[in-house]
Amino acid sequence: MSGNGFLDDAARAARWIASYRESMASLPVLPRVKPGDVAAGLPEKPPEKPVPLESVLSDLEDVIVPGLTHWNHPGFFAYFCSSSTDAGVLAEFLAAELNQNAMLWRTSPAGTELEQRMVDWVRRFVGLPDAFDGLILDTASSSSFTALLAAREQAVPDVRQRGLAGRRDVGPCVLYLSAEAHSSMDKAAMAAGFGLDQVRHIPVDENLRMVPAALESAIRADRDAGLIPVMVCATIGTTSTTSVDPVRDISEICERMGIWLHVDAAYAGPAAALPEKREEFEGWERADTIVLNPHKWMSTPIDCSILLFRDAAAMRRPLALTPEYLRSDEDGSNLMDIGLSLGRRFRALKLWFQFRMEGAEGLRERLRRHIALAGELAGWIEADARFEVLAPHPFSLVVFQAVPPRGADPDEWNRRLLEAVNRDGRVFLSHTAVGGRFALRLAVGSARGTEASVIEAWHILKDQYDQMAAD
Instruction: Looking at residues 99 to 128 of the shown chain, list those that interact with a second copy (rule: CB under 8 A).
Output: 99-101, 105-111, 113-114, 116-117, 120-122, 124-125
Task: Round to the nearest angstrom and report the end-to-end CA distance of the chain.
Answer: 55
Site for a second copy in 245-274 (CB under 8 A): none
For residue 7, give the amino acid letter. Answer: L
Q: How many of the other CB atoms lie within 10 Å of CB of 230? A: 24
The one-character DSSP state at 409 is: -
Tell me if 149 sits within 8 A of 319, measured CB to CB.
yes
Beta carbon nearer to a second copy, 305 or 464:
305
The neighbour count for residue 405, using CB atoms within 10 Å, is: 12
DSSP β-ladder status, 260-264 and 228-235:
parallel
Question: Considering the complex, what minimum distance in angstroms separates the CB of residue 466 from a second copy?
Answer: 25
Which 310-369 residues touch a second copy, going by CB under 8 A? 318-319, 321-327, 330, 333, 340-343, 345, 349-350, 352-353, 355-362
CB of 189 to a second copy, least distance (A): 8
Strands 260-264 and 289-292: parallel
The residues near 206 (Cβ < 8 Å, ≥ 6 apart) are none
Which C-beta is closer to a second copy: that of 277 or that of 283? 277
CB of 6 to a second copy, least distance (A): 5
Q: Which is nearer to a second copy, 301 or 404 (CB)?
A: 301
For residue 433, the minimal CB distance to a second copy (Å) is 4
In the list 13, 274, 468, 469, the residue contacting a second copy (rule: CB under 8 A) is: 13
Orientation of helix 348-382 relative to helix 86-98, angle to 10°: 150
Instruction: Examine residue 223 and tell whether it contacts a second copy (CB under 8 A).
Output: no
- Check residue 275 for interaction with a second copy (CB under 8 A): no
Gap between the Cα atoms of 439 and 451, Å rounded: 23
For a second copy, give the closer residue by CB, 46 or 407.
46
Binding mask 149-188 for a second copy (x = CB under 8 A): x------x-xxxxxxxxxx--xxxx--------xxx-xxx
Q: Do 17 and 93 form a contact (C-beta atoms < 8 A)? A: no
Stretch that binds a second copy, among 70-78, 208-216, 252-260, 463-471 (CB under 8 A): 70-78
**Local structure of residue 336 (DSSP, 8 states):** G
264 C-beta neighbours (distance < 10 Å), count: 31
Q: Which one of 1, 3, 26, 46 is in contact with a second copy (CB under 8 A)?
A: 46
Is residue 387 a contact partner of residue 466, using CB atoms and an 8 Å limit? no
Please, what is the minimum distance in Å from the beta carbon of residue 192 to a second copy?
6
Least distance (Å) between residue 465 CB and a second copy? 22
Q: Are 418 and 429 in contact (CB under 8 A)?
A: yes
> Would you say 170 or 234 has its CB closer to a second copy?
170
Q: Which is nearer to a second copy, 419 or 463 (CB)?
A: 419
Cα separations (Å) of 355 from 69, 285, 448, 449? 27, 23, 17, 20
- Based on CB atoms, which residue is closest to a second copy, 168 or 406? 168
Contacts with a second copy by CB under 8 A: the residue count is 162
Nearest to 364 by CA among 374, 354, 350: 354
Q: How far is CA 468 from CA 334, 408, 458, in A?
A: 59, 11, 15
**Quick check: 191 binds a second copy (CB under 8 A)?**
yes
Which residue's CB is nearer to a second copy, number 432 or number 464?
A: 432
Considering only residues 286 through 305, tell me which ones interact with a second copy, judged by CB under 8 A.
295, 301-303, 305
Closer to a second copy by CB, 162 or 459: give it: 162
